Structure 1
Amino acid sequence: MVMDGHINAAFNLPITVAFCLTLVVVCGGYSRHGSRRLPDDLLLGAATASYQIEGAWDADGKSENIFDYAIHNQPCYAIDCSNGDVAANSYYLYKRDVEMLRELGVNFYRFSLSWTRLFPTSFTDKINKAGVEYYNNLIDELLKNNIQPVVTLFHWDMPQKLQQLGGWLNNNIVDWFGDYAEAVFVLFGDRVKYWITVNEPFQICEFGYGNAILIPALNLTGEADYICTKNLLLAHARAYHVYDELFRPKQDGIIFITISTEWFEPADNSNIEAANDANQFWWGIYAHPIFSKHGDYPRIIKERVALKSRVQGLPRSRLPELSPDEIKYIHGSSDLFGLNHYSSAIAYRNASTYYYYSSFTGPSHDADAGYMSYKPPEWKIGESDRTMYAPWGFSKILAYIRNVYNNVPVFITENGFASHGGLVDDDRVTYYRGYISAMLDAIDEGSYIIGYTAWSLMDNFEWWNGYRENYGLYEVDFNDTSRPRTPRKSAYVYKEIIRTRTLDMNYEPDMSIPLTFDLL
């Protein structure tokens, strides 16, 4: 295989796009299986994140995070002018959440910690006892029900105070994040054996710093996003090394980063390079420094940004260099490849692409990458276009990790489908069946996959989409102050997959029977 951002074994797979565009259900053979067995040791679970479900935004000593602050000052940040002040109210309803997990029969529950609920000053000088009690209660309730907690340290809700100090643009974030991680390991590490340092660095840096999609919405493309990238990788590595050196010997856990990986497929044989660039600029920039043979950023990114920077008259590359010591510090700093995946896209580069990006005279992440992409309308199932259906892309990303990153163990930490509500969510069922089958294809081909996580356990605040987009296995009624949760058809189907360890493409649940759990 070839490393450093050039064409590799994963791109030598036969291009399937042409017939996938017209008949996606047979792509990769996803309609051929009536029933498939899941490996007995594959962990199955569900996920949420603190700001999206907890509510209680200022209760019991919690201070502001960046979403609290920004949305209260810009009430219509979300498309429906909603916020996470109450959300699913899980701060008060966590026992019902655990009950739902028992109903599904999951092996684990992935959730994130609210930094400001634990440390209201943003630093570790003051610990909020109420916040600690909440997470202790949740963790203990999970373990009492034989459900392993998988805990994310950072899922986008930066303390507002630290954001005012620069957030991920301040080099001191490496120390701040390391201190936070160490304090959390002390508080909960005796019971938590799976730690995720950071969720989806591309979305944090590109959507929040390079663009205005996510808070803090700095919109400084080609500059702030690259600074964020370097500091985030170093902060992740700091948390990893703190755990590895100080806590792993006694706590014996696993720690890793989760990277969002949209798969970019070339439009045709002339666009293989464009698709490669897309994959590298989207997620290779975070995966390569950790998982590749020699570390550092992909070579194509370093060369491209340096060249564009020189053309723009800058004395150095806009992509901050990693020193040899930093490369070594980041390299190998993840026990697993945490993988979030929802959909894929078609990438291309043609004369109009060159003409369009040549008009960008200033810094631009998109101009640096120099590709364009689209998702064919034939991939759409259901009402939402947030999660287009292309399960073959899931197999390809897993093949890429297997071929390029030496088959590092993969923990799929998010995979799910957006809808606009309703309990009979057949499109979500179709999606889960297709993507789980694609995962099983990758396992058959040799991928080392240890866990699969459905996003999400319940409907929640979906950032700029507010409550308009629903991903939950359980529907939450946000118009009811008691926030009742009701299982969707997909919850029944997922429960059956977990119970039987079998993916049955033809199983039809009886939703008139309440979804209950077996007694322990």
Structure 2
Amino acid sequence: MVEQPRVFPADFTWGVATSAYQIEGAADIDGKGPSVWDQFSAEGKVRNGDTGQVACDHHRRYREDCDLMRELGIPNYRLSISWPRILPTGNGDINERGLDFYDALIDALMERQIQPWVTLFHWDYPQALEDQGGWLNPQSPRWFADYVRVVVERLSDRVQHWFTINEPQVFLRYGLVDAINAPGLQLSLEERLLASHHVLLAHGLAVAAIRSVAQKPPQVGWAPVGIAMMPATQSAADVEAANLAMSGTPDNLWSNTWFNDPVFLGSYPEAGLREFGSAVPTTTPQEMETIAAPLDFLGLNIYTGTYVKSTGASAYEELPDPPGAARTAFDWPVCEDSLYWGPRYHWERYKTPIYITENGMANIDWVALDGEVHDPQRIDYLARYLGELHRAICDGVDVRGYFLWSLLDNFEWADGYGKRFGLVHVDFATQQRIAKDSARWYREVIHTNGQIALLASSR
């Protein structure tokens, strides 16, 4: 019997992802208001003094970038909307020119048979609302829901797939705890838990807003970080240790369960409630019901992970990376197992269909003497990770799609332009785009429904 080639499920969704502040530029034109990232970078707090003022100039070059996606065979594109481009002060008057831009972008995508998947918040919080307390303000959930309603009313005649919020763990931890991202605050435990509760309420109110005004039947989810811990061995004890580690609730908010349990299970995890005690904000049953508005899918952003081993009943230790372990240009360990254990944990706990909404590699890419950009490490990285994702699917995890981060080299937050994640190389001085070797490889991955990646990962 001839063995059939291994592929992903026939209806698997392939795509790429970006975010507004990281690529759009046009930071202060066409009526856009400032975001916390405009303020943070203007204060010189980003590496090398970089800002998102121009970024990839996508606001002007979106048609060129849509053409690139069509040439690369990209069928699905996850983008985000800039809140202050729509509502310059965060609430109040609508900037019609901002809506016109996204109208045109969505039309350009659909003209090229590329389906838009829209994220409503990817960290560019309006500075005018930050000046009123930001996520600490009890009105912040309502501010967000009002903004979401404006966007969905305008775009939902074409857009059906919506993400409310991207990576709450990251913008809360690094922005409000460690102060290394915008807005650069260091809050008390009580304050950070209150801010996170408001973010969850904002998510729940946004889900209700989407479902109430969407013109086409919406598919709604959100996209937290999938914090992956992998067992050091396949023993039952180590697997349980990894699950225990992924259920943790540290006070720096780097947690799966503190954010996903309220959304999918309707309550904060008991372990976190015990640990945080009186620092947990007072909640009402109505608030928890709002947060737990039913979702159609769970997005997970997974890049790396940590190995753990059991040290006894309900105890574990994290293992250091071995000397010389493979690392990306972001100094993140290459841990392809994370795309097995992370989705598996979340599927087993929440029983909700999963999309990998970000995965990719920061690499040291440059234009070679032949005029091309050769990035074999990225190809190898992607093949490894896709192989593990396929293994998870084969083991019963309901993973329905994969969005590679990112289409373009872009503004990488506090690291500015020092890290390159793109399938397409961007010369930030000239804005020239050059598709890398990995872009052509990924085109074949999509064309073969993953077969090219799985052949490479099985060698």
Please report the TM-score for the alignment, with normalisation by the length of structure 1: 0.79
1:284 to 234, 239, 257: 257
Q: Report the CA distance between 1:184 and its aligned residue.
A: 0.8
Q: Report the CA distance between 1:506 and its aligned residue.
A: 8.9
2:423 to 464, 473, 477: 473
- In the aligned structure 2, how far is the partner of 1:340 from the partner of 1:178? 23
Q: Judge conservation of contact 2:344–2:397 (CA < 8 Å) in 1.
A: yes
Q: Judge conservation of contact 1:384–1:420 (CA < 8 Å) in 2.
A: no
- In the aligned structure 2, how far is the partner of 1:327 from the partner of 1:487? 46
**Identity of counterpart residues, as a percentage?**
34
Q: Report the CA distance between 1:187 and its aligned residue.
A: 1.1
Indicate the SS of the match to 2:49. Answer: coil
The gaps in structure 2 that reach 5 residues or longer are 250-254, 367-372
Residue 304 (str. 1) matches residue 267 (str. 2): no
1:251-309 deviations in Å (ceiling 9; x for gaps): 201111111012123568589658624543222111111123xx211111111111xxx
Residue 503 (str. 1) matches residue 451 (str. 2): yes
Q: Judge conservation of contact 2:241–2:308 (CA < 8 Å) in 1.
A: no
Residue 344 (str. 1) matches residue 301 (str. 2): no
1:324 to 273, 279, 285: 285
1:101-129 deviations in Å (ceiling 9; x for gaps): 10121221111111111111211x32212
Q: Superposed, which structure 2 residues align to 1:358-373 within 5 Å?
A: none
Aligned to 1:247: 213
Residue 166 (str. 1) matches residue 133 (str. 2): yes
- In the aligned structure 1, how far is the partner of 2:359 from the partner of 2:375? 16
Q: Report the CA distance between 1:478 and its aligned residue.
A: 1.0
Residue 66 (str. 1) matches residue 39 (str. 2): no
1:215 to 162, 173, 182: 182
Residue 234 (str. 1) matches residue 238 (str. 2): no
Give the superposed CA RMSD.
2.4
Q: Judge conservation of contact 2:238–2:308 (CA < 8 Å) in 1.
A: no
- For the structure 1 residues 239 and 377, does the alpha-carbon distance in structure 2 shift closer, same or farther, using more than 3 Å as the test? farther
Aligned to 1:190: 157
Indicate the SS of the match to 1:397. Answer: helix
Q: Judge conservation of contact 1:87–1:478 (CA < 8 Å) in 2.
A: yes
Q: Superposed, which structure 2 residues align to 1:330-409 within 5 Å?
A: 330-347=291-308, 374-386=320-332, 388-406=333-351, 408-409=352-353
Aligned to 1:99: 67
Q: Superposed, which structure 2 residues align to 1:7-156 within 5 Å?
A: 36-73=6-43, 75=44, 77-123=45-91, 125-156=92-123
- In the aligned structure 1, how far is the partner of 2:246 from the partner of 2:322? 17
Q: Judge conservation of contact 2:386–2:454 (CA < 8 Å) in 1.
A: no
Q: Judge conservation of contact 2:89–2:127 (CA < 8 Å) in 1.
A: no
- In the aligned structure 2, how far is the partner of 1:274 from the partner of 1:451? 24
Q: Report the CA distance between 1:210 and its aligned residue.
A: 1.5
- Counterpart residue identity of residue 55, structure 1: G
Q: Report the CA distance between 1:221 and its aligned residue.
A: 4.8
- In the aligned structure 2, how far is the partner of 1:428 from the partner of 1:98? 22
- Counterpart residue identity of residue 220, structure 2: I
- In the aligned structure 1, how far is the partner of 2:243 from the partner of 2:322? 16
Q: Superposed, which structure 2 residues align to 1:504-519 within 5 Å?
A: 504-505=452-453
Q: Judge conservation of contact 1:35–1:502 (CA < 8 Å) in 2.
A: no
- For the structure 1 residues 161 and 299, does the alpha-carbon distance in structure 2 shift closer, same or farther, using more than 3 Å as the test? same
- Counterpart residue identity of residue 203, structure 1: V
- Counterpart residue identity of residue 103, structure 2: N
- For the structure 1 residues 178 and 193, does the alpha-carbon distance in structure 2 shift closer, same or farther, using more than 3 Å as the test? same
Aligned to 1:365: none
Aligned to 2:370: none
Q: Judge conservation of contact 2:241–2:316 (CA < 8 Å) in 1.
A: no
Q: Judge conservation of contact 1:459–1:474 (CA < 8 Å) in 2.
A: yes
- Counterpart residue identity of residue 141, structure 2: V
1:430 to 361, 369, 380: 380
- For the structure 1 residues 177 and 380, does the alpha-carbon distance in structure 2 shift closer, same or farther, using more than 3 Å as the test? same
Indicate the SS of the match to 1:276. Answer: helix
Q: Judge conservation of contact 2:383–2:454 (CA < 8 Å) in 1.
A: no
Residue 416 (str. 1) matches residue 382 (str. 2): no
Indicate the SS of the match to 1:469. Answer: coil
Residue 462 (str. 1) matches residue 412 (str. 2): yes
- In the aligned structure 1, how far is the partner of 2:319 from the partner of 2:283? 29
Aligned to 1:447: 397
- For the structure 1 residues 424 and 506, does the alpha-carbon distance in structure 2 shift closer, same or farther, using more than 3 Å as the test? farther
- In the aligned structure 1, how far is the partner of 2:164 from the partner of 2:146? 13
- Counterpart residue identity of residue 504, structure 1: I
The more displaced of 325-334 and 44-53 is 325-334
Q: Judge conservation of contact 2:387–2:453 (CA < 8 Å) in 1.
A: no
Aligned to 2:252: none
The more displaced of 111-120 and 318-327 is 318-327
The more displaced of 270-279 and 396-405 is 270-279
- In the aligned structure 1, how far is the partner of 2:279 from the partner of 2:328? 41
- In the aligned structure 2, how far is the partner of 1:111 from the partner of 1:373? 36
- For the structure 1 residues 396 and 221, does the alpha-carbon distance in structure 2 shift closer, same or farther, using more than 3 Å as the test? farther
- Counterpart residue identity of residue 81, structure 1: G
- Counterpart residue identity of residue 289, structure 1: P
Q: Judge conservation of contact 2:308–2:316 (CA < 8 Å) in 1.
A: no
- Counterpart residue identity of residue 12, structure 2: L
The more displaced of 280-289 and 260-269 is 260-269
1:192-211 deviations in Å (ceiling 9; x for gaps): 11111000010121111121
- For the structure 1 residues 139 and 154, does the alpha-carbon distance in structure 2 shift closer, same or farther, using more than 3 Å as the test? same
- For the structure 1 residues 51 and 377, does the alpha-carbon distance in structure 2 shift closer, same or farther, using more than 3 Å as the test? farther
- For the structure 1 residues 42 and 117, does the alpha-carbon distance in structure 2 shift closer, same or farther, using more than 3 Å as the test? same
Q: Judge conservation of contact 1:263–1:279 (CA < 8 Å) in 2.
A: no
- Counterpart residue identity of residue 211, structure 1: D
- Counterpart residue identity of residue 381, structure 2: Y
1:139-187 deviations in Å (ceiling 9; x for gaps): 0000111111111110000000100111111110111011101111111
Q: Report 1 or 2 for greater relative contact order, CA contacts < 8 Å, sequence distance ≥ 6.
A: 1
- For the structure 1 residues 486 and 469, does the alpha-carbon distance in structure 2 shift closer, same or farther, using more than 3 Å as the test? same
Indicate the SS of the match to 1:69. Answer: helix
1:291-338 deviations in Å (ceiling 9; x for gaps): 23xx211111111111xxxxxxxxxx1121432222222224422111
- For the structure 1 residues 264 and 502, does the alpha-carbon distance in structure 2 shift closer, same or farther, using more than 3 Å as the test? closer
